[in-house]
Structure 1
Amino acid sequence: MLEGIEAGTRAAELLAKGAPLQATLDVADPREWLALDAGVREIAWYRPQLLPEWEHSHPLPTDLTQLDESRLALALCHRDGRIRQEALVQSVRYPGLLPLVVIRCADWATPVRELAQDLLRAALDVGSALELAPLILRVGHRGRGAVGLDLLGRTLRRASHGQLAVLFSAPDRTVRRFAYRLAVEGRLLPPAELARVAAQDQDTVVQDLCATAALAACADLAARGDLAARGDAEAYESVLAPLLSARNPRTRSAGVTALRRAGRSQQAERFLGDRSGLVRACARYVVRQHGDDPVAWYRERCMARENPELPPGAVIGLAECGTRADASLLLPLLMHPVTGVRARAVAGLRALDCGDMERLRPLLDDAAAAVVRETAVSLLPHAKELLADWLLERTDRERPRHVRVGAFRLLDARGGIVALRAAVGLLEDPDVKLRAWAAQSVQRWHPSPDGRRGDPEVGELLDRCRHLFSDYVLRRRKWEAGVGS
């Protein structure tokens, strides 16, 4: 907020000198109005020693009736509530000051707040509400801003679909959420349009809102018999097609679940191998309700070990609903040519608690980062059983970065002098993030209870990274390890 206050103070200085409001502020940006209000008023309350120069050189007159728009904007933000109240009375002469009236609707002073609310109620129509919506929604989150939100909602409920469309594409997600809620409440958008928005909008709240509304609208049409009149297949296709092809897993899962209601449960089968666990779970539910067995579907595909088109989701899906006996189908997939399949096979074996350390250990050298990452996670419970020298070799800077990261993760989990040795060695690694991780590992290192006390190597390693400790902490670490004076 400090940057906003300072920017608002600079804007106030220009306005005090007579600069036009339009040239001083981006009047379409609600943040600039809020910054002006903060810069004029809050600095006087919380930092009076920094009272801006314009208050001394260009003070506001006692009579506000002759003020121009720029100076009246300052009066609307003044720290004195009586001045703000009088400025509100005069603000009706300048419609461009309506954003500051919106801000005063959440004013702490009751007379100021109530007067501002009356003025906004009289001035607000659909056109001005569309322009002021971003600011009203921001002010509405304040403790006394509920009245402005209520006024905005009641005004925009009279708007048509074409008028609200301006807010549907607003960059502010809060504005889009508000607009789509109004559209859903007023049934302004057809189910197909809601489904398209759910598939394309980047905000998860809008996605869920529109997907739910689209499916509910289809259910209502089916209950009234309208779908049968227009063609059940065509109506559902216009809604389900965008949902099922959406990038967002929550939206896809809503479409998959709706397949059962649409009488198309058999189409859920192709989502059993989806990349999202949520979508796979919904697909399994629909398939089971249809009377089929998703486990058999997964087993059939995982048996085709050489199939280059085997979806990785089918591999992890088998682990999600199969048994430990299905590990025999996943083990051969550790050598599959597709990276995603190998990675999901490792994750699947871990989910079935069938990870074999000797089979997984070679995958720490895999060319794919995703495979090495899953392998490192699976080997963490066996970190102390792995050969320390073998792991240290893989932290050499000649190895690929993902291999160094996986090996260090296991070494760090081992603890003791081996972890310290690896971390100190990586302090000069070419990768910035790995160096930072190694430094953090050194700083939180403590001798393990079963380690040998008085090991001179510990003292040497700690001295090599003394720049990471204060003198006191370094002496403390050495004392814990039984080295040094």
Structure 2
Amino acid sequence: MDLWNRLRGMATTVPVERDHLPKPPGPDLLRAAGDALRGQAVTGLITITRDGDEGLRAATADTLGAWPAPTWMAVDEELRERWWWAPVWTVRVAERIADDSADLLRLVVAGCHHDGWIREATVTRLADHAPHPAALAVLALRCADWVEPVRDRARTTVDERVPVTGAALAVLAGMAYALRARRHGGWLAERVERALRELPPDGLEPLLTARDHRTRRAAYRAALAAGRLGQRQLVTAAVRDGDPPIRAMCARAAVAVAGPDELRELLASRTALVRAEALHALTTAGDPAAAEVALLDRHPVVRATAQAALRRAGTDPAARYRRLVTGQDPPVPAVIAGLGETGGAVDAVPLTRWLAHPRPRSRAEAVRALRRLGAARPEDLLPLLRDDSGAVTRQVVTSLRQQAGGLDPAMLAGLTAPDNPPYVRFAGYRLLLAGGAWQRVVTDLRLLDDADERLRGSARADLAMWLHRQAATTYGQPGPRLAAELDRLTERARPVLGERRVRLLRFHAGLPVEVNRRG
């Protein structure tokens, strides 16, 4: 029995169940649903195919045509489940597909049916509607179908009956790159890549402006490989495109052919690598003024390029930063960071002053700069463990971890008090863990049942890792104070850790392992 007769044969079978479909959803719901489209709204699509008039069906198909690939992938799965709610309409729509009387919306929604025969027949009919984005999206989905006959028919249809060019290629590409991670998703992506290589120059334009960034990426790669982009296009993409990899690849190509004016325009790019490439080209061509300005760039890779250019020109960038640190009140974060990158021990005093900078980012840069210069003194940094900014506190922790053994454990334990902000508590926890093996174990035990999920989870995971990997090589035993606290805490931890782990902990700490004081 061929495919079409099999579908017509469904019409002779009267389903035992009736349809269980809701009222049709409004078009506004379908337009606004996006990736969150689920449940009754998806089932409502089937209702529209059955009960909606011709105008509503056409409008709904257009709405579906605007959906991005992730939405289609989610709705495809949901529709397969929801079609079980419409056994009677399944029979009728199968008959219409066989007789070639199903319109676009009915084909699109039936193309996501759980019955493989219906999906296979649908892809053949959808080829007649191929310019429509909704038809193309379902054809793309079926090219990665889990059933081989459906998959093969969809691929044959795309190869033989769908013009893989222009706007159609843009739709197929968006779907192809989203589907590529699936088991059978590679075929369509390869087909799209081949089409991109074969396109005439004007055929790439719709893809260079496609909404899907993966499609634009592939189009730019193809255009660059074929040398199809002019200097103006390269510079514009390097500065304005929303995708960082596109900006970077176009910048590399633009720098190779751009003149000074275009290179200065590239310095306005949002991508640090683009700015660095343009700056290197400008300074190599003999424009040290660009390097002077770029010393204040917000990104370290651009500052490093500027600093290297000034050194090649015989100028010390640290001297420039020193003038700015003392001349600006207060200096911008890039000045503080730059002095830390280029200065020396003599710069510790002016940098320490800006630990009290009014801007959190500048305080964080001051901490980082002092660490780079080897001038991070605990007495200067400890007050910042309670800073209003978590970014500043994290930089302080990074600076003090190597010196944590010399810090006051009681002070650090105070940071973990429940009334402190979570980032302050975690800063104290991290420094306590760096204060020695037994201080680490005691800290973890204290927080095993903490109300903060992050601290509680971190303490349990760290203690388990210590027992598994490091306990056997911790040869020293805790002093009297820590031993007494370990004795108490291990008993309290029995309900959380279990008998075996508690016995193991007590063994490594040199405590009696047979004691079980549950009362």
1:335 aligns with 2:353: yes
1:116 aligns with 2:154: no
Residues 154-190 of structure 1: per-residue CA shift (max 9 Å, x gap):
45743375x55752xx1x3213323444565677766
Counterpart for residue 98 of structure 2: 64
Distance 1:443 1:271, change over 3 A: same
1:126 aligns with 2:171: no
Letter in 2 for 1:205: P
CA deviation after TM superposition for structure 1 residue 411, in Å: 0.8
Task: Describe how 1:314-333 pairs up with structure 2 within 5 A.
Answer: 314-321=335-342, 326-333=344-351
Task: Describe how 1:85-484 pairs up with structure 2 within 5 A.
Answer: 87-95=122-130, 96=132, 97-105=135-143, 108-109=148-149, 112-113=153-154, 115-121=156-162, 123-139=163-179, 142-145=185-188, 146-151=190-195, 154-155=198-199, 157-159=201-203, 161=205, 163=206, 166-167=209-210, 170=211, 172-181=212-221, 191=231, 194-218=234-258, 236-241=260-265, 243-298=266-321, 301=324, 304=326, 307-321=328-342, 326-336=344-354, 337-338=356-357, 340=361, 342-357=363-378, 360-361=381-382, 364=385, 369-397=390-418, 402-422=423-443, 433-434=454-455, 437-438=458-459, 440-441=461-462, 449-452=475-478, 455-465=483-493, 468-470=496-498, 472-481=500-509, 482-483=511-512, 484=515
SS in 2 for 1:246: coil
Moved more, 185-194 or 125-134: 185-194
CA contact (8 A) 1:137 1:149 kept: no
CA deviation after TM superposition for structure 1 residue 294, in Å: 2.9
CA contact (8 A) 1:315 1:330 kept: no
CA contact (8 A) 1:462 1:474 kept: yes
1:315 and 1:358 map into 2 onto residues whose CA distance is 20
Residues 22-41 of structure 1: per-residue CA shift (max 9 Å, x gap):
64872322345445655677
CA contact (8 A) 1:64 1:72 kept: no
CA contact (8 A) 2:336 2:369 kept: yes
1:212 and 1:204 map into 2 onto residues whose CA distance is 12
Counterpart for residue 230 of structure 1: none
CA contact (8 A) 2:208 2:220 kept: no
Aligned residue pairs total: 449
CA contact (8 A) 2:97 2:107 kept: no
SS in 1 for 2:434: helix
Residues 104-152 of structure 1: per-residue CA shift (max 9 Å, x gap):
445645852552133444x445343345442244356622221244235
Residues 352-401 of structure 1: per-residue CA shift (max 9 Å, x gap):
44544555555546666544432322221221222222323344456666
CA contact (8 A) 2:268 2:275 kept: yes
CA deviation after TM superposition for structure 1 residue 207, in Å: 1.8
Task: Describe how 1:1-40 pairs up with structure 2 within 5 A.
Answer: 10=43, 14=47, 20=57, 23=60, 26-29=64-67, 30-35=69-74, 38=77
Letter in 1 for 2:303: R
CA contact (8 A) 1:412 1:419 kept: yes
Distance 1:119 1:65, change over 3 A: farther
CA contact (8 A) 2:234 2:253 kept: yes
Gaps of 5+ in 2: 1-35
Q: RMSD between aligned alpha carbons?
A: 4.5
1:374 and 1:75 map into 2 onto residues whose CA distance is 57
Distance 1:327 1:362, change over 3 A: farther
CA deviation after TM superposition for structure 1 residue 284, in Å: 2.1
CA deviation after TM superposition for structure 1 residue 406, in Å: 2.8
Gaps of 5+ in 1: 44-49, 223-235
CA deviation after TM superposition for structure 1 residue 64, in Å: 1.6
SS in 2 for 1:52: helix
Distance 1:87 1:299, change over 3 A: closer
1:81 and 1:152 map into 2 onto residues whose CA distance is 31
2:423 and 2:72 map into 1 onto residues whose CA distance is 48
Distance 1:439 1:160, change over 3 A: closer
Counterpart for residue 231 of structure 1: none
Q: Among the aligned pairs, what percent are the same residue?
A: 26
CA deviation after TM superposition for structure 1 residue 205, in Å: 0.8
Counterpart for residue 232 of structure 1: none
CA deviation after TM superposition for structure 1 residue 248, in Å: 3.2
CA deviation after TM superposition for structure 1 residue 310, in Å: 3.5
Distance 1:15 1:155, change over 3 A: farther
CA deviation after TM superposition for structure 1 residue 459, in Å: 3.7
CA contact (8 A) 1:271 1:283 kept: yes
SS in 1 for 2:186: coil
Moved more, 434-443 or 401-410: 434-443
2:248 and 2:410 map into 1 onto residues whose CA distance is 51
TM-score by length of 1: 0.72
